[in-house]
Amino acid sequence: MAKRFPNNPSHPERICWGCDLYCPAKALACGNGADRTMHPVELFGEDWNQLDDHLDRPVDSHVDRPLNTG
């Protein structure tokens, strides 16, 4: 069973968030890249989990587009 993902940890910079191991930033055990994966709060701010209204909408796949005949 996976661990519960914290919404707003107190020190997100100390942990790699790339997998369920949550390794210390200076001792990556999983080999999931050379750098640690940042927590969404570091990238998008404290309201990162409320961004649903601000995300781009999917492109409608039924839009008629002219064919490139050249």
Q: Are 37 and 28 in contact (CB under 8 A)?
A: no
pLDDT in 10s for each residue of the chain, 70 residues: 567 888 888 999 999 988 888 889 888 888 766 788 899 999 888 888 876 666 666 666 665 666 666 5
- CA quadruple 27, 37, 45, 6: dihedral sign: negative
